[in-house]
Amino acid sequence: MSRDNTIDVPLGAHPDRLGGLSEGDKTDHFVAPFEHGISFDELPDAPPKARFRFSLTGWIGAIIVAFWLFIAVFGSFIAPYGENDLPFPDDYSEFQTPRAGALLGTDVEDRDILSRIIYGAGRTIGISFAATLLAYVLGVVLGIGAAVSGPKVDMAMSRINDAFLSLPTIMLGLVVVAAIGSSIPVLICTAGLIYATVVFRLARALGQEIMVMDFVEAAKARGEGRWWIITREIWPNAAMPLITDFGLRLIYVILFISSLSFLGLGVQPPQADWGSMVRENLGALQYGESIIPVLAPAMAIATLTVAINLVVDDVSAQAGGRLSKRL
Amino acid sequence: MTGLILRRLGIGLVTVLAVSLIIFFGTKILPGDAAQIRLGQEATPENVAALREKLGLDKPYWAQYLIWLKNFMTGNLGISLASDVPITNLIADRYKNTVIVSCLTALIGVPISLMLGIMAAMFPGSLYDRVLTFVSVSLVAAPEFFTATLLVLLFVFALDIGNAVVVGSTDGKGFFELIAHFALPIATLSFVIASQLIRMSRAAVLNVMSSPYIEMAILKGVPRRRIIFRHALLNAIGPIVNVVALNLAYLVTGVIVVEVYFAYPGLATLIVQGVQSRDFVLIQGLGMIFCLTYVVLMLIADIAAFASNPRLRHPK
Amino acid sequence: MSDFKNNDPRLTALGYHERNHLNDMMKRGASRRDVMGWLMAAGATSFASGTLFTGLAHAAAHTPKRGGKLIMAADQHGPNDTLDPALYTSAADYFRGRMFYGSLTRLTADLGYEPELAEEVLSNDDATEWTFKIRKGVEFHNGKTLTADDVIFTMNRHLGKDSISKASSLVSMIDKWEKVNDYEVRAVLSSPNADLPIALGTFHFKILQDGTTDFATAVGTGPYKVKEFKPGVRAVGTSFENYWGEGGYLDELEHYGIGDSTARLNAFLAGDVDAMVNLPPKAISQVEKTDGKEIWSLKAGAYVNITPRLDMEQSNNVHLYKAMQALQDRQRLVKGVMKGQGSLGNDQPINAAYFDHCPDIPQRELDPEMAKFHFEKSGIGNTAIPIVCAEVAPGAVEQCLFMQREGKKIGMNFDVKKVTTDGYWGAVWLKEPICVASWNMRPTANIMMTLAFKGDADWNETRWKNDKFDQLLIDVRGETDADKRKAKYCDLQTMIHEENGMSIPMHRNYVDAAAAHVQGRTEVPLNNFGGAEAPVTLWRADT
């Protein structure tokens, strides 16, 4: 029986989507905390309380995330220009330094950087959020489904999932996007499906772990139905690790999309997204008057992802008090 | 233990088979006809029909699949649709480049990252730990091409060390010459994998540290350094090897951006070109090579884990 | 020109030994006083001696040195890179072709031709029969001597309906090639063509050995022989010791593909490559500021364009392409993108760089009113109009983005998809309903229009077919009256301007960059790297 454990969860995986372990039913490489009986404070019988107290870094992270979410939602009302509009139509020089009329200067096509960052926020966050959500819906449903199904179904689903996992993300993405043609729905679906494989492994491992816990055994012995077990026992206990992983997955999706943009298959010009903004303005580092065109979108990605990380770290630390903290 | 390894091997084979099905039928679903693509502007209906027959495209899919699989196992990857040369010719040299870069990155980047991670685990909560965590978190967030550009600006233009792109052949170069040859791609990739390796190794050690026997040792008053090196580290080898193997797999398969940026011909750029020219045969061959690489690396990771952790050899 | 010009007319007064002595003096680095003293003693006037010295000193400083290696960075490249001249499609192919092969004639900077493998080119009075006397003693890389059979074999590959050649339309007026004797061939034409020797100097007519079928390597008569050729990666040539002519000075010449322009510029500025094609115009000032790096720019009639296929749904809408033409922001392309290294395009391929340019066609400008008029007539409404673009040349992507921006203002919904340049020519071009392209200049207006606008041309991008145009294009080749010729060429250009459907918003100069030690740069304005003619004459100054 598997005991893939959860310690790798908040730490997440590689830019290349790996949720830690390579095969679904392999015995743990990690020492499962449950085995030693110290982890009942981590997985209490009752669903964990949803209240957290952020540390200082957690607060900083949360505020930054909230800030970007606000920009993402209300960006089109705030932006001084359209994302493809020229602040100075009669001026043919690119990469201008910040000035009145273009607070962060202009980009390689003489457009207003501030406006593009603001429009890009909505697109970058929107696409990655939608893709991650899709990955979670698919991955969690199938993963927990596999965990509670019989060994044969589980085995088949895991093997298929492993096969997809063994193909490189970016290659899968390239082939699919290039064949169908890039558009935002295609990007969302492709990224969602690719990352669903990781979530599947995670959800399935968590589900299996919890299935053999005493309280589940007890519930089974009481004659509870499968649905009851899923909703009342498995989900509340699996939710926390999954939610922390969600934040990290979001970061990898952002990077995945910006890699596709680098190869010309991501968000299509002139639409702004942060990854492709870094890409199209790379020349500014070489021959621009100002390096803001490339620095600004890079900083936007960095602040968002670091902030998500801070929140995730905080949440996962609060969720599992370990001896290491006291050491 | 042999039995376990054999079982892993079996699972690996099943995975490869499943992948071959996905790849073959996946590329069949994609729009475009191989014969049409290969003929290009010379395609007339008669030409296309004749070539379809010659390539065996008129047979049912499952028969095509079996022939393709058999060819693959005998090392015949077929003829490229875009350039009419055997896929193996296209791949041979590029595979060498890719393997050299991944191995050098692993040799240089992995030990440094692991050291940093383990040191962070030795002093959790210290300033060093916090700074390192913050830096590695930020590194995760940097797109590869951004890291690459910064490195080029810093090393090539500011310090005048290394090359902005990788030109020239690797033939006859010694170990250190190869490192110099691929210096910046290796540096970029090391940064890419470092952030995860640091976090994972730190977490793996800390996780072991929270187990009862370590707690026992702490209570007994064993010095912390001794605990980490004698007890914790040994038990953390399994997960660490696993992460290293995953990263190696990533280095072989996922470095498209770095290859394009530094313009060295590796396998990943070949995919980009294959995808652009709708060269399905090439994509199929590369897909299988990547899958095999991944499965073999995972197998090695498993064996290492078994060897390092006696408990795993006797699963309940 | 290995040394000073031995046949300089001002030297005719000197005897053979005197000339050699002068040559030796220059090579030893003799001073002006020494040389002039010697010349006066040899009987030259002092004025002649003075100018002669300047010329000789220049020649001595520019005397090619042998040895060394150069790496030239190309841009587009892919698995369909080839060594078969008949199949060449990209600038990279053309450059490689010059390294490994030779052709009957060679094009010059003023777009005339000079004999190369043909020692002498003769025609009958009405240009319907052309005789080429083949140079004796020319050796292929495998040691075989060039004869008429090789030329006939090569030329026949471009003839006939089933020819795989990309340039067959340039020689479609040739009925047959005849062998007169081992060193003389004759082309018999069905209609006159005074420009045939120029056409045969273009990229596709490189001479192969009789019976060649394997193009894994190139066995030509060029100054370099193949050391390594990997499609989509690099081509390396080593000096061919038995090259018949002057040239091929380098030990090794490498042609390397770097698709990404930022990476290419980095590589060039860092000195990893010695020259690069298509310098982003925005980086020109940066290169000019850098020591030892120079711009290698040629004024030309090259252009970027957006081509709607007239035989496909949506893109066949006349009002759509008229609206697209009116939406081109030509000024911004020339001034903003090219930084002045180009000129306004007028939706026809022949600009002022061509002899037969027609200046009377009114210049199209950005005209939202006109665009709106046609857009409303087109009935396309809010439907997305997909356009595939790639950075195939400076301005190629921008022309689409500018059009999209202007289009949005009047409610047109252009869906611009940007793809990578790797493999673009094989996979996208001529296949998508609307895509971009980048065209090199050709030596004559007729060749340009025959290659890309004639109804039956392989590269007829919009699939526009106009019998009157095709006929006129053939007629004008035999036109000897200057005024009539001019009028006919004006008609041809006007037809394209009005009906072809293509947007040609900008003509661009070839803007490459080379390190100062890259010498022997040619200036034939037909392609990057000096018309892709540079491989023969390139040498390295700092070895």
The tens digit of pLDDT for each residue in A262-274 reads 787 888 878 888 9
A220 phi and psi, to 5 degrees? -60, -45
Contact B276 C254 (CB under 8 A): no
What separation in angstroms does the CA of C134 have from each of B163, C170, C193, C276? 46, 21, 20, 35
Domain of B215, CATH number, reads 1.10.3720.10
CB contact under 8 A, C282 and A110: no
Secondary structure, 3-state, C276-342? ECCCCHHHHHHHHHCCCEEEEEEEEEEEEEEEECCCCCCCCCHHHHHHHHHCCCHHHHHHHHCCCCE
Question: What's the pLDDT score for residue C20?
Answer: 64
Residue B35 lies in a domain: yes
For residue C267 the two structure tokens come to 């590589």
User: Which residue has better confidence, C276 or B282?
Assistant: C276
Query: What chains are in contact with A, requiring at least 3 Cβ pairs below 8 Å?
Result: B, C
Contacts of B155 in chain C (CB under 8 A): none
> What pLDDT is attached to residue B40?
59
Q: What is the pLDDT of residue A35?
A: 37
Whether residue B150 is found in the same domain as residue B295: yes
Q: Is the pLDDT of residue C53 over 80?
A: no
Q: Do A179 and B30 touch (CB under 8 A)?
A: yes
Please write the tens of the pLDDT for every residue from C505-517.
Answer: 999 999 999 999 9
Same domain as B283, residue B226:
yes
Q: Angle between the B233-253 and B280-308 helix axes, to the nearest 10 degrees?
A: 170
| Mean predicted confidence (pLDDT) in C398-403 | 93
pLDDT digits (tens, 9 = 90+) for C252-302: 999 988 888 888 898 898 888 999 999 988 889 889 988 999 999 998 899
Residue C271 has a CB neighbour count (10 Å cut-off) of 15
> Within this chain, do residues B53 and B93 fall inside the same structural domain, yes or no?
no
Q: Average pLDDT of C527-543?
A: 90
B-contacting residues in A 249-278 (Cβ below 8 Å): 251, 255, 258-259, 262-263, 275, 278
Q: What is the reported pLDDT for A1?
A: 33
Sheet (strand C129-134) strand order: C118-123, C129-134, C184-189, C174-181
Say yes or no for a CB contact (<8 Å) between A168 and B246. Answer: no
pLDDT of residue C498: 94
* B285 within 8 A of B87, measured Cβ to Cβ: yes
The tens digit of pLDDT for each residue in C15-40 reads 556 666 666 666 566 666 676 676 66
Q: Is C291 in the B-facing interface, judged by CB distances under 8 Å?
A: no
Structural domain includes residue B82: no
Both B210 and B266 in one domain: the answer is yes
Residue C243: the pLDDT is 94
> Do B32 and B123 lie in a common domain?
no
B78 within domain boundaries: no
**Chain B: closest CA distance from residue C423 (Å):** 6
Categorize the per-residue pLDDT at C330 as very low, low, confident or very high, splitting at 50, 70 and 90. Answer: very high
When pLDDT is cut at 50, 70 and 90, the band that residue C410 belongs to is very high
Is A209 a residue whose pLDDT tops 80? no
What interface predicted TM-score (ipTM) does this complex get? Answer: 0.79
Give B234-282 as a DSSP string. HHHHHHHHHHHHHHHHHHHHS-HHHHHHHT---HHHHHHHHHHTT-HHH
Task: Say what the pLDDT of residue C400 is.
Answer: 94
**Residue A31, pLDDT above cutoff 60:** no
Closest CA to B87 of B254, B293, B277, B283: B283
pLDDT class of C493 with cuts at 50, 70, 90: very high
Last residue of a domain, one of B73, B102, B121: B73
CA distances from C186 to C107, C127, C137 (A): 20, 12, 20
Sign of the alpha-carbon torsion through C224, C225, C228, C232: positive
The answer to whether residues C231 and C80 touch, using CB atoms and an 8 Å cutoff, is yes
Cα separation, A277 vs A274, in Å, equals 5
Range from A127-131, B60-64, B232-236 carrying the lowest mean pLDDT? B232-236
Q: Are residues B127 and B31 in the same domain?
A: no
Residues B68 and B190 reside in one and the same domain: no
Q: Which residue has the higher pLDDT, B96 or C241?
A: C241
Q: Give residues 317 to 336 of C whose Cβ lies within 8 Å of A.
A: 332, 335-336
Looking at the 3D structure of chain B, how many domains does it have?
A: 2
CA distance C56 to B254: 58
Q: State the DSSP H helix or E strand holding residue A251, giving kind and residue range, or none if neither.
A: helix A235-262
More confident residue, C45 or B115: B115
Name chain A contacts of B153, Cβ cutoff 8 Å: 285
Q: What radius of gyration, in Å, describes the C-alpha atoms of chain B?
A: 24
pLDDT reading at C8 higher than 70:
no
The partner residue sitting opposite A170, judged by closest CB among B146, B203, B256, is: B256
**Quick check: B263 and C259 in contact, CB under 8 A?**
yes
Per-residue pLDDT, A41: 41
Strands C69-74 and C434-439: unpaired
DSSP C144: P
Query: Is the Cβ of A103 closer than 8 Å to some Cβ of chain B?
Result: no
Q: Which residue of chain C has the CA closest to A94?
A: C336
Residues of B in contact with A310 (CB under 8 A): 137
Within this chain, do residues B141 and B187 fall inside the same structural domain, yes or no? Answer: yes
Contacts of B265 in chain C (CB under 8 A): 230, 232-234
Does an H or E element contain C92, and which? helix C91-100
| Residue type at position C145 | T
Same domain for B49 and B120, yes or no, is no
CA C238 to CA A195: how far, in whole Å?
Answer: 49
Do B85 and C267 count as a contact with CB atoms less than 8 A apart?
no
Cα(B49)–Cα(C17) distance, rounded to whole angstroms? 71
pLDDT at C80: 76
pLDDT tens digits, one per residue of B211-261: 777 778 888 888 877 777 777 777 777 777 777 887 887 787 768 888 888
- Confidence grade of residue B32 (pLDDT, cut at 50, 70, 90): low
Asked if residue C45 has pLDDT above 90, the reply is: no
At B178, the pLDDT band (50, 70, 90 cuts) reads confident
pLDDT of residue A22: 33
Q: Is the pLDDT of residue C331 over 70?
A: yes
A159, A275, A327: residue with CB nearest B15: A159
Q: Among all residues of chain A, which has the CA nearest to that of C338?
A: A92
In DSSP notation, B176-241 reads HHHHHHTHHHHHHHHHHHHHHHHHHHHHHHHHHHTSHHHHHHHHHT--HHHIIIIIIHHHHHHHHH
pLDDT of residue C404: 92
Q: What dihedral angle (degrees, nearest 10) is formed by the CA atoms of C188, C194, C198, C204?
A: -40
Identify the burial level of A303 via C-beta atoms within 10 angstroms of its C-beta, where 0-12 means exposed, 13-18 middle and 19 or more buried: middle
Of A268, A283, A287, Cβ closest to residue C418: A268
Q: Is the pLDDT of residue A42 over 50?
A: no
**C-alpha to C-alpha distance for B291 and B17, rounded to whole angstroms:** 10
pLDDT category at B6 given cuts 50, 70, 90 is confident
What average pLDDT does this structure show over A129-153?
89
Handedness of CA A22, A24, A25, A28 (dihedral sign): positive
Residue B79 domain-assigned (yes or no): no
CB A319 within 8 A of CB A240: yes
From the list B146, B246, B283, the residue facing A18 with the nearest CB is B246
pLDDT band for position A30 (cuts 50, 70, 90): very low
**Same domain (yes/no): B156, B24:** no
Same domain, B188 and B259: yes
* Residue bearing the bigger pLDDT, C179 or B225: C179
Domain of B56 in residue numbering reads as 2-73
pLDDT value of position B43: 62
Most confident of A10-14, A173-177, A307-311, C241-245: C241-245
3-state secondary structure of C103: strand
Q: Are residues B93 and B69 in the same domain?
A: no
Domains, chain A, ordered by start: 1-43 (no CATH), 57-326 (1.10.3720.10)
Enter the tokens of residue A10.
């908040």
Q: For C426, name the nearest residue in chain B, comparing CA atoms only.
A: B277
Higher pLDDT, B313 or C256: C256
Percent share of chain B, pLDDT over 70: 91
Mean pLDDT of the region C145-169 = 91
Of B18, B40, B73, which marks where a domain is finished?
A: B73
Q: How confident is the model at residue A63 (pLDDT cuts 50, 70, 90)?
A: very high
Residue given tokens 């190369």 in the structure block: C116
Measured between CB atoms, does A44 come within 8 Å of chain C? no
Q: Which residue has the higher pLDDT, A111 or B201?
A: A111
Confidence of residue C73 (pLDDT cuts 50, 70, 90): very high
Task: State the Cα–Cα distance between residues A189 and A181, nearest whole angstrom.
Answer: 12
Q: What is the mean pLDDT of chain C?
A: 87
Domain contains B190: yes
Percent of chain C that is helix, strand, coil (3-state, to 5) = 35, 20, 45
- What span, in angstroms and rounded, lies between the C-alpha atoms of C461 and C458? 8
- The one-letter code for the residue type at C483 is D
Q: Is residue A16 over pLDDT 70?
A: no
pLDDT of residue B261: 82
pLDDT of residue A14: 34
Of the candidates B26, B46, B73, which is a domain's last residue? B73
pLDDT one-digit tens code per residue, C457-492: 888 999 999 999 999 999 998 887 889 999 999 999
Nearest Cβ partner for A259 among B144, B149, B305: B144
Q: Can you give the pLDDT at residue B138? A: 74
